[in-house]
Amino acid sequence: MKLVTAILKPFKLDDVKSALESAGVQGMTVSEVQGFGRQRGHTEVYRGAEYQVDFVPKVRIEVVVDEADAARVVDAIVGAASTGSIGDGKVWVTPVDDVVRVRTGERGAEAL
Amino acid sequence: MRLVTAVLKPFKLDDVKTALEAAGVQGMTVGEVQGFGRQRGHTEVYRGAEYQVDFVPKVRLEVLVDDADAARVVEAIVTAASTGSIGDGKVWSVPVDDVVRVRTGERGPEAL
Amino acid sequence: MRATRVQPFRRVTINSGDTAWLLACTALVLLMTPGLAFFYGGMVRAKNVLAMLMQNYVCIAVVSVTWVVLGYTLAFGDGNGLLGGFRFFGLAHSSEPVPGFSLTVPPLLFMAFQLMFAIITAALIAGAIADRVKLGPFIAFVAVWSVVVYAPLAHWAFSPGGWMAHLGVLDFAGGSVVEINCGASGLAVALVVGKRMGWPREAMPPHSLPLTLLGAGLLWFGWFGFNAGSALHADGLAVNALVATHLAGVGGMLSWLALERWRTGSATTLGGASGAVAGLVAITPSCGFLEPLPALVLGMLAGAVCLFAVQLKFRLGYDDSLDVVGVHFVGGVLGLLYLGLCATSAVNPAVTHEGLLYGGGAWLLGRQAVAVLAAGSFAFAASFVVAKAVDLVLPMRVSEEDEHLGLDQALHAESAYDLGSVRTMGRLS
């Protein structure tokens, strides 16, 4: 099993969610985060004092998938999320030792 | 490639960000979380009713790095974030199978 | 205050129109303190908003007590040029006429109206020391300050027996007593407690500008009571004061917005609100002595000057967190000196020497300058001493850990905002 994590531009969430559903992914967890890569942030001004704010709002999507599906799911996310401009984000895959469905106690592939 | 994750005290974010930039890390994702370890939370009082709140605000910081850089990056974070008092947090690293830059489709170490 | 010759005690004839008006103004001025609380509260970080609100609201309680016991009599009792006497100690003889005033309202109402001025002047100081002061020491400071700094200044400028009134200084609603006072006092306390951790490098932006804008609106509304009420009668002078007050707020907002847009590219809501307040501050001493258009001009001047004045703290290195110096002190100075240029007896017969631009020469300007210097230096020096003394007995500054955690949790065991389910999860213990 694999955990696929994606950091994306917030307005792309809807497209990515649709793409994942089309790809057969049943669920996901999303959180609102702040990040930057090479994209610099922006400036805010308060009574003439300028502050450089480096962080930019992003969303993090996490889905746990079968090893066999990981590459396909990554491609679906990248395809839906890409705009071609700085700040599009990253997707990565990490191995998962075990997964449990809390309601039933099912483990492993049945829990996905 | 590795994913380095750190759960830290919020006021330390600025120091850690600076240390990471000095260590050559180009970007990061930060989320606001709630946590506790051995640090207990605090009490709030509303018209005489006392509530024990265990969770303490933390930030979670994540960076994707080359295998060769992982130890150095962990070191940089720990040094910058440490205050010596309860609640300083933890840093850990997990292996990453693959990384994709959404904007360009680049994979692997080029995507870092 | 309307300047009159000191007169012997005589029976007061109650005018119901004046009394109704001043009753309403008393309430309006009180509302300015909650208004200020939100104006300031929105500008601090979320973890400190309750503490800022508390510092403002608690002034209502603390100053009310010191005022009725000691402050009122020291300000308005019959003493000498420097201090009122003790006749009204604990509000004794409170139905007796107030020395120097031919009031047409019950004297107790005058006391209540003036109390609201004392309250907000104290509350204004909290803006200079945001995010880093403990409540107990703050209360102790306010209690002492209201008696040894505010009351004497009120006597000098507001009481016809005070030396400034004798000198011929014009200060309608408190450019010296309130604005210069709170600014100079705020600076003194800010120097005693030191800068916020991380200031100025770390960004500490306002956490809720909607609250700040709401507060600014409440302040503007209440200011009609502050300024027009200082006419002490429901008459043409009060109307003049109201119109002047309004136009000054307007002028301040417009000039700050325009200047900001030109300088930084963005006209900000904080700038608009701050400009309006700057104009309202400047018109406070001058509203009873200016024609309407000069009042508008004063507002525009104040908006422009204060926009630059708030930068001084970065240049000179003092953490006047919410710009009590930059807006209130500077605005008060501007308003008082402007009178030296534009005061006219056509608006108020109490103007015995016209302003410079009305052919009166520099007589008045000189008087106003004396008032500015005296009020500013006395308020600064006395507040510095009081703050130092309080700090020795009750250290004012919170610990570093508490300052990081946030005053709301550290001092009040409260959180202002219940955002998210994890945050609110707790058990009744």
Q: Per-residue pLDDT tens for C61-120?
A: 999 999 999 999 999 999 999 999 999 999 999 999 999 999 999 999 999 999 999 999
Separation CA C269–CA A48 (nearest Å) = 12
C18 Cβ neighbours under 8 A, 6+ residues apart: C104, C105, C232, C233, C234, C235
Exposure string of B43-71, with b = 16+ CB inside 10 Å and e = fewer, is: ebeeeeeebebebbbbbbbbbbbeeebbe
Which tokens sit at C376?
């500013």
Report the percent of chain C where pLDDT is more than 90. Answer: 89
Q: Which residues partner with B107 through β-bridges? A: B100
What is the structure's pLDDT at C122?
A: 98
Indicate the helix (H) or strand (E) that contains C389. Answer: helix C363-393
Distance CA C219, CA C185 (A): 21
- Domain count for chain C, please give it: 1
Residues β-bridged to residue A51: A44
Cβ-defined contact of C205 to A48 (cutoff 8 Å)? no
A8/A83 Cα distance (integer angstroms): 11
Q: Which two tokens stand for residue B94?
A: 């997990």
Position C36 pLDDT exceeds 80: yes
The stretch C196-222 carries a mean pLDDT of 94
B82: exposed, middle or buried (Cβ count in 10 Å: 0-12, 13-18, 19+): middle
Answer left, alpha or beta for residue C100, where phi above 0 means left and psi between -120 and 50 means alpha.
Answer: left
Tokens of C273: 């609100």
CATH code for the domain of A99: 3.30.70.120
Nearest Cα to Cα of residue C1 among C146, C206, C154, C111: C154
Q: What is the distance in angstroms between the CA of the first residue and the CA of the last residue of chain B? A: 9
pLDDT at A4 (0 to 100): 97
Residues C10-30, mean pLDDT to the nearest whole number: 91
Amino acid at C323: D
Q: Residue C314 is part of which domain span?
A: 16-415
- Whether the CB of A54 is below 8 Å from some CB of chain C: the reply is no
Q: Rounded distance, CA A10 to CA A60, Å?
A: 9
Please state, as a whole number, how many other Cβ atoms lie within 10 Å of the Cβ of residue C139. 17
Q: Side chain identity at C142, as an amino acid letter?
A: V
* Predicted pLDDT of residue C7: 47
Number of Cβ within 10 Å of residue C297's Cβ equals: 17
- Rounded to two decimals, the pTM is 0.88
Q: Is the dihedral of CA C53, C59, C60, C62 positive or negative?
A: positive
Is residue C5 over pLDDT 60?
no
pLDDT at C8 over 70: no
Q: Does B50 touch chain C (CB under 8 A)?
A: yes
Average pLDDT over residues A14-29: 92
The predicted model gives C156-172 an average pLDDT of 96
Q: What is the pLDDT of residues C351-363, one digit of tens each?
A: 999 999 999 999 9
In a domain, C356, yes or no: yes
**pLDDT > 70: what percent of chain A?**
100
Residue C69 forms part of a structural domain: yes
Rounded to 5°, the CA angle C399-C404-C407 comes to: 75
Residues C396 and C137 sit within 8 Å (Cβ to Cβ): yes
Interface residues of chain B, partner chain A, Cβ below 8 Å: 1, 3, 17, 26-31, 64, 94-103, 105, 111
| Assembly ipTM | 0.85
Half-sphere exposure of C296 (CA within 13 A, CB side): 6
- What residues of chain A lie within 8 A of the CB of C262, using their CB? none
Whether C3 has a pLDDT exceeding 80, the answer reads no
Q: What domain range includes position A39? A: 2-111
Among chain C residues, CA nearest to A53: C203
∠C96-C351-C288 over CA atoms, to 5°?
Answer: 70
Over residues C190-198, the mean pLDDT reads 96
Please give the Cα distance from C394 to B14 (Å, whole number).
32
For C411, the closest chain B residue by CA position comes to B44
Q: Is the pLDDT of residue C281 over 80?
A: yes
Work out the end-to-end distance of chain C between its first and last CA atoms, rounded to an integer number of angstroms.
55
> What gap in Å lies between CA C167 and CA B85, rounded to an integer?
61
d(CA B46, CA B44) in angstroms, rounded, equals 7
Position C322 pLDDT exceeds 50: yes
pLDDT category of residue C236 using cuts at 50, 70 and 90 = very high
- What confidence score (pLDDT) does residue C260 get? 93
Mean pLDDT on C253-267: 93
Mean pLDDT of B60-83: 95
Whether pLDDT at A69 is above 70? yes
C413-422 burial by CB neighbour count: b if 16+ within 10 A, else e?
eebbeeeeee
Average pLDDT over residues C119-134: 98
CATH of the domain at C358: 1.10.3430.10
Higher-pLDDT residue of A50 and C91 is: C91
Nearest to C415 by CA among B60, B37, B34: B34
Q: Does residue A30 have a pLDDT over 90?
A: yes
Residue A17 reports pLDDT greater than 90: yes
**Longest CA pairwise span in chain B (Å):** 58
- How many structural domains is chain A composed of? 1
- pLDDT of amino acid C424: 58
CB-nearest partner of C413 from B14, B44, B85: B44
The whole-number average pLDDT for the span C10-21 is 86
For residue C326, the SS3 value is: helix
Query: For residue C57, what pLDDT is reported?
Result: 98
The overall average pLDDT reported for chain C is 94
Min Cα distance A104 → chain B (Å) is: 26
**Mean pLDDT in residue range C163-177:** 96
DSSP state of B109: G
Of A6, A88, A92, the CB nearest to B96: A92
Q: What's the CA gap between C327 and C179, in Å, rounded?
A: 9
Residue C9: is its pLDDT beyond 60? no
The confidence score (pLDDT) of residue B53 equals 80
**What pLDDT does residue C155 have?**
98
Task: Judge: C203–A51 Cβ closer than 8 Å, yes or no.
Answer: yes
Locate tokens 């029976």: which residue? C11
Q: Which of B53, B55, B83, B85 to mutate to test the interface with C (most CBs of C within 10 A)?
A: B53
Q: pLDDT at residue C170 above 80?
A: yes
C210: exposed, middle or buried (Cβ count in 10 Å: 0-12, 13-18, 19+): exposed
